[in-house]
């Protein structure tokens, strides 16, 4: 919970503020680094190019959508390992239903697309509810419960897909995944809206505040009258739905449903949340940080290709940023004597 200004000296407050904003600082440092390299190396610009900006932001959307839901889970001191394949499941189902609605039922493309999108999101209710039920009611640790769901969702996605990627022929759907409005990619706009909604939910609603309370201390939250079971159900439900949104948009972008769509994104989503300032011990983190975290990963991976560095440096660079980020978090905790910062 927030520390009131009278608790600490101005110097400490400043340090806390910097620690909170570390993801944005990382981002600025990286951008300056790539900009300087581009200017000196090949007389070009990195960040003052709408083309680069569009490319990087679109690149960041899929892992960011997963990371938004994961932020709630991690703040509540949980973890959701299932969301990569829940995303794949949604992607495959959206492709199938869109094709079925368009080709077999003969619906116009726009309606077929909506059917596909709705089906992709609705199917994630099942893994979301089961995750919540396992963790809240049966007291399965989140790591194990969602790991089990990782396998189940993966198998289901491959079964639905018959081991293939499912091609989608729908111009509307393709336009959602690849179109632009006033030069801004539709994917970026939709992800931006999702960020605003989840930011509001986390910072302004009782649900958000209870999530922080639960992550900071579950027994204390329970004694304060918070229904931990219901809250846990809601958090994992939200995480699954965000995976569904990510999967549904993936299908539009690549005009294909792929069961393994989210597999490489799971760890990126956790990394984005952690770089963004959340603690895996729960109780801290915010949506703004997660956005910065996702952008940090996207900028590193894009920038190193842009300046033509040996590709394997990407892994090292992302890993180093995660480690530094966690070290900052630990130092801050020691400094504040275990008190929590939102």
Partner 1 sequence: MDRRSALKLMGAASAAAGLGVMPGVARAADKVTIALIPGLTADGFYVTMHKGAEAAAKAVGAELIYQGGAEWNAALQVPIVDAIIAKKPAAILIAPNDKKQLVQPLKKAFDAGIQVVCVDTFIGTGVFQTGSGDADFPISYVASDNVLGGRMAARALAKAIGEKGKVYVSNTLPNVSTTDQREQGFKDEMKNYKDVEVLETQFNGDDANKAAAQLQAVLGRVPDLAGVFGANLFSAGGTANGVKSAGKAGKIKLAGFDAPESIVSQLKDGTFELTIAQHPAEIGYFGFMAAYAQVTGNPVPTAIGTGFTVMTGANIDDPKVSRYLYKSS
Which stretches of the chain bind partner 1, using CB under 8 A?
42, 44, 49, 51-52, 54-56, 58-59, 62-63, 154-155, 158, 161-167, 169, 178, 185, 250, 253-256, 258-261, 264-265, 298, 301-303, 305-308, 310-312
Q: Provide φ and ψ at 15, rounded to 5°.
A: -60, -40
The least distance separating partner 1 from the CB of residue 90, rounded to whole angstroms, comes to 15
Between 169 and 227, whose beta carbon lies closer to partner 1?
169
Local structure of residue 310 (DSSP, 8 states) = -
Residues 251 and 237: their CA atoms lie apart, in Å, by 21
- The label of the residue with tokens 């520390």 reads 3
Between 26 and 302, whose beta carbon lies closer to partner 1?
302
The least distance separating partner 1 from the CB of residue 332, rounded to whole angstroms, comes to 32
CB atoms within 10 A of CB 306: 20
Alpha carbon of 249 to those of 96, 157, 196, 237, 316: distances in Å? 14, 16, 18, 19, 29
What pairs with residue 184 in β-bridges? 181
The least distance separating partner 1 from the CB of residue 116, rounded to whole angstroms, comes to 16
The least distance separating partner 1 from the CB of residue 256, rounded to whole angstroms, comes to 6
The least distance separating partner 1 from the CB of residue 273, rounded to whole angstroms, comes to 18
Between 171 and 204, whose beta carbon lies closer to partner 1?
171
Give me 163's structure tokens: 């081991």
Residues 64 and 69: their CA atoms lie apart, in Å, by 9
Between 58 and 68, whose beta carbon lies closer to partner 1?
58
Residues 231 and 43: their CA atoms lie apart, in Å, by 53
Between 37 and 237, whose beta carbon lies closer to partner 1?
37
């Amino acid at each position: 919970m927030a520390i009131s200004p009278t608790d600490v000296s101005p110097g400490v407050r400043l340090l806390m503020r910097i620690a909170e904003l570390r993801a944005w600082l990382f981002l600025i440092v990286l951008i300056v680094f790539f900009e300087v390299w581009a200017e000196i190396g090949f007389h070009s610009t990195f960040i003052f190019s709408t083309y680069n900006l569009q490319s990087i932001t679109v690149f960041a959307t899929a892992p960011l959508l997963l990371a938004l839901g994961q932020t709630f889970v991690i703040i509540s001191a949980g973890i959701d390992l299932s969301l990569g394949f829940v995303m794949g499941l949604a992607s495959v189902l959206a492709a199938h239903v869109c094709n079925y609605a368009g080709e077999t039922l003969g619906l116009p493309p726009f309606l077929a697309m909506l059917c596909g999108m709705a089906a992709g999101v609705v199917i994630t209710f099942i893994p979301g509810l089961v995750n919540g039920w396992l963790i809240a009611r049966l007291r399965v640790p989140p790591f194990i419960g969602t790991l089990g769901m990782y396998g189940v969702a993966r198998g289901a996605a491959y079964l639905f897909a018959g081991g293939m990627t499912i091609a989608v022929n729908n111009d509307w759907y393709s336009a959602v995944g690849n179109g632009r409005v006033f030069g801004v990619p539709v994917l970026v706009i939709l992800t931006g809206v999702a960020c605003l909604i989840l930011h509001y939910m986390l910072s302004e609603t009782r649900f958000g505040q209870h999530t922080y309370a639960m992550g900071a201390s579950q027994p204390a939250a329970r004694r304060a009258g918070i229904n931990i079971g219901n809250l846990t159900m809601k958090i994992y439900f939200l995480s699954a739905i965000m995976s569904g949104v990510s999967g549904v948009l993936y299908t539009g972008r690549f005009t294909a449903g792929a069961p393994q769509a989210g597999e490489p994104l799971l760890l990126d989503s956790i990394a984005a949340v952690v770089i963004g300032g959340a603690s895996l011990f729960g109780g801290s983190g915010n949506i703004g940080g997660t956005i910065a975290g996702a952008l940090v990963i996207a900028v590193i991976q894009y920038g190193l290709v842009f300046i033509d560095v040996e590709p394997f440096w990407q892994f090292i660079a992302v890993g180093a940023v995660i480690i530094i980020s966690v070290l900052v978090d630990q130092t801050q905790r020691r400094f504040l004597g275990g008190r929590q910062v939102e």
